[in-house]
Structure 1
Amino acid sequence: MISFFRKFKDGFAKTVSAIAAKTRGLFGGRKIDAASLDELEEALYTADFGVETTEEILTEIKAAYGREKDLQGRAAAEIGAAVLRRVLAGSEGTLDPAPAAAPDGVRRPIVIAMIGVNGSGKTTTAAKLAWRLKQDGKTVTLAACDTFRAAAVEQLKTWATRIDLDIVASHTGADAAAVAFDAWQAANARGRDFLIVDTAGRLHTKSNLMEELAKIRRVLQKNDATAPQHRWLVVDGSLGSNSIEQARVFHQSFGLTGLVVTKLDGTSRGGALVGIYRQLKIPIYFLGLGEQPEDLQPFSVENYVKAVFGLDE
């Protein structure tokens, strides 16, 4: 079985390659000099680590270089990793695999609402998350509530068949909130541990989309006042820092409890998640590092910082 670290290392290969190309392999063994510091600065900006994080990394590396003129690139990578560990402290979201009973003592499904714009990988992520929970021995129902996009409903149905999971769906254009209500009822009646709700990613206007999400939330709360217990935004990592404003808007409207950053294996902008967390302080639960279900990996600060700086496990 491929180790968790290897998944991260492979998933961030494009980011690592881009940094190596711009710094002429600085972290592979070169000594630090003034030119390599300029190269590193450009590389960190290109990888979308953002102004604050880039400046912090460079400040600490320059200070170390000032003390030791023979400073090696490997040591610089370790310094960069230490800065990222500090910046990302508290960023790992942890999904309790054994949901507790509600205050009234009745055990109900834990609801995870997957939110995000079309193209972010939201529907695929919902299916992959269901697969992961199933591998952990949990029972899951999927709710196909992106009824405004025919492809989303069919896509989720296909995934449900592929991974052998319950799904509650309706026809294109059906009331999404009604589907969510029915899905909760079904998941509860069958004693499922989790209900994963795939929501709409686009409507005619942003206000329409936010109202639709609010309606789904209100309907779920008719069944369980605490639902949805998790409200996760799925963001496309290849968009880089442009995702920050998107996340802020959804957070203001829906009160996000977590993030899932996808498509990181296909981009050299692997630093973007640092800026998103730094700005919003929303925990990151999972990263999408490939096409297969097992490529949805729990976020690990340690694996991330070692992967992006090309450090060994």
Structure 2
Amino acid sequence: MDGYLGVIVIVVLVALIAAGGLFLLFRPGGKAAPPPPPQAPPLPEEEEKHPPAAGEAEGATTTIPPPAQPTAPAEPMVKAPEVEVPPPSAGRMVRLRSRLAKSQSSLGRGLLELLSRDRLDDEVWDEIEERLITADVGVAPTRAMVEELQTKVKVLGSRTPEEVRALLREQLLIQVNPDLDRTLHVARHGERPAVVLVVGVNGTGKTTTTGKLARSLIGDGKKVVLGAADTFRAAAADQLQTWGDRVGADVVRGPEGGDPASVAFDATARGMTEKADVVIVDTAGRLHTKTGLMDELGKVKRVIEKKATVDEVLLVLDATTGQNGMRQAQVFAEVVNITGIALTKLDGTAKGGIVISVQRELGVPVKLVGLGEGPDDLAPFDPEVFVDAILGE
């Protein structure tokens, strides 16, 4: 009996121990069984096992990379501008005459109307004189014109519209002076290029005129080098660089605030090295003291002449500034020997008489006129085309 009880006690103890273990395993918050160890991923189809090379561990795999695909060459981030082929300068003013007529014909129509009146008394002549002076013809040229017109009208007596037109055309042409030599001197001197110095106040269109002139000369078949000697304005050098890039003209630049004469010298030297026909030098347009301006431009000219001859000194004037432009012109004329005038924005003013007054005051011809904002709107000045535009013909 005692042995039977002992067996029962042992069985009960074993059952209690087993129940306690299960309780500890499955109670809330208990730790889950650890996950099975990860299995190695299957090899991709492209990878092949090869016998290990010397020094490699047994079982190591070697991956054969796919063959390299040819790559297309990368395109440049900034493309160089395409070089343009400008049209020749011949006939430009004829093509642009309609623009000139839009701004100038009001002067011609007014004068023709006054001169066509049956009775030309002092009041009418005073009005004719006022219209001419308002158009910036200048006092002295205006008086000369009016006196000559009065004499011719008395001789004619009665006047037809055709006679009045012919009379006025004759007098305007006399004042514009078609006999002045308007040739732009840009011919090479043997091994040396011609040199054009462009001067004028900032804001008159000086740098733009330099670029347009280069374009015009290249259109005429000449090789051009540009000198950005306006070193006091970084924008001027950048602007000239853009003009040069468009037509394939080399541009010589210097550091901002550097010596303008040094840039002019380097540009002339580059022109000789590259056998250019023309070197065009854009100068600084600061109108400070006359002495400072004289020193600066004088030095530029002297330095250029160590290498070549300065064939043209072009003064750029803004036609819309009227008599203010005349005062600027007089200062530059006292500082440097001007050979010609480039009159910009002539299509933007009704005061075309500045052509007459500036020539009379400075004693040099208007050689170039700007008649618009386009790259080919700089034209050699033609007196007859100009007068016909004033008369609305």
Provide TM-score, normalisation by structure 2: 0.70
Matches of residues 15-26 of structure 1 in structure 2 within 5 Å? 15-20=104-109, 22=110, 26=113
Contact 2:104 2:350 in 1 (8 A): yes
Deviation at 1:175, TM superposition (A): 1.3
Counterpart of 2:386, as a letter, is: Y
Partner of 2:350: 268
Partner of 1:142: 226
User: Are positions 1:199 and 2:279 aligned together?
Assistant: no
Partner of 1:53: 141
Q: Among all aligned residue pairs of Structure 1 and Structure 2, give the percentage whose two residues are the same amino acid.
A: 39
Partner of 1:237: 319
Task: Give the whole-Å Cα distance in 1 for the aligned partners of 2:92 and 2:280.
Answer: 27
Contact 1:115 1:199 in 2 (8 A): yes
User: Are positions 1:33 and 2:119 aligned together?
Assistant: yes
RMSD in angstroms over aligned alpha carbons?
2.4
Deviation at 1:69, TM superposition (A): 4.8
Secondary structure of 1:291's counterpart equals coil
Contact 1:142 1:168 in 2 (8 A): yes
Task: Give the whole-Å Cα distance in 1 for the aligned partners of 2:187 and 2:118.
Answer: 49
Task: Give the whole-Å Cα distance in 1 for the aligned partners of 2:354 and 2:156.
Answer: 31
Structure 1 counterpart of 2:173, from 74, 85, 107? 85
Task: Give the whole-Å Cα distance in 2 for the aligned partners of 1:289 and 1:75.
Answer: 30
User: Are positions 1:95 and 2:184 aligned together?
Assistant: yes
Q: Unaligned 5+ residue runs, structure 2?
A: 1-86
Higher relative contact order (CA 8 A, sep 6+): 1
Partner of 1:66: 154
Deviation at 1:89, TM superposition (A): 4.0
Task: Give the whole-Å Cα distance in 2 for the aligned partners of 1:6 and 1:66.
Answer: 37
Contact 2:290 2:335 in 1 (8 A): no
Counterpart of 2:269, as a letter, is: Q
Secondary structure of 1:293's counterpart equals coil
Matches of residues 1-313 of structure 1 in structure 2 within 5 Å? 4-20=93-109, 22=110, 26=113, 30-34=116-120, 36-87=124-175, 88-96=177-185, 98-101=187-190, 107-202=191-286, 204-224=288-308, 227-310=309-392, 312=393
Contact 1:32 1:69 in 2 (8 A): no
Counterpart of 2:203, as a letter, is: G
CA-to-aligned-CA distance 1:82-115 (integer Å, 9 cap, x gap): 12322314334102454342xxxxx201100000
Contact 2:224 2:250 in 1 (8 A): yes
Contact 2:186 2:194 in 1 (8 A): no
Contact 1:32 1:72 in 2 (8 A): no
Task: Give the whole-Å Cα distance in 1 for the aligned partners of 2:149 and 2:276.
Answer: 51
Contact 1:11 1:290 in 2 (8 A): no
CA-to-aligned-CA distance 1:231-259 (integer Å, 9 cap, x gap): 11111111223333322221221111111
Residues matched between the structures, number: 301
Contact 1:265 1:288 in 2 (8 A): yes
In structure 2, relative to structure 1, the CA distance for the partners of 1:6 and 1:32 (3 Å cut) is farther
Task: Give the whole-Å Cα distance in 1 for the aligned partners of 2:101 and 2:291.
Answer: 35
Contact 2:92 2:379 in 1 (8 A): no
Q: Unaligned 5+ residue runs, structure 1?
A: 102-106
Task: Give the whole-Å Cα distance in 1 for the aligned partners of 2:124 and 2:137.
Answer: 18
Contact 1:91 1:281 in 2 (8 A): no
When you count helix as a share of all residues, which structure comes out higher?
A: 1
Contact 1:145 1:199 in 2 (8 A): yes
Q: Which has the larger radius of gyration?
A: 2
Counterpart of 2:135, as a letter, is: A
Contact 1:146 1:200 in 2 (8 A): yes
Instruction: Find runs of 4+ consecutive structure 1 residues off by over 6 angstroms.
Output: none
Contact 2:197 2:282 in 1 (8 A): yes
Deviation at 1:265, TM superposition (A): 0.7
Task: Give the whole-Å Cα distance in 1 for the aligned partners of 2:233 and 2:213.
Answer: 21
Contact 2:200 2:206 in 1 (8 A): yes
Task: Give the whole-Å Cα distance in 2 for the aligned partners of 1:208 and 1:241.
Answer: 23
Task: Give the whole-Å Cα distance in 2 for the aligned partners of 1:193 and 1:278.
Answer: 32
CA-to-aligned-CA distance 1:120-149 (integer Å, 9 cap, x gap): 111000011000100000000111011111
Counterpart of 1:134, as a letter, is: I
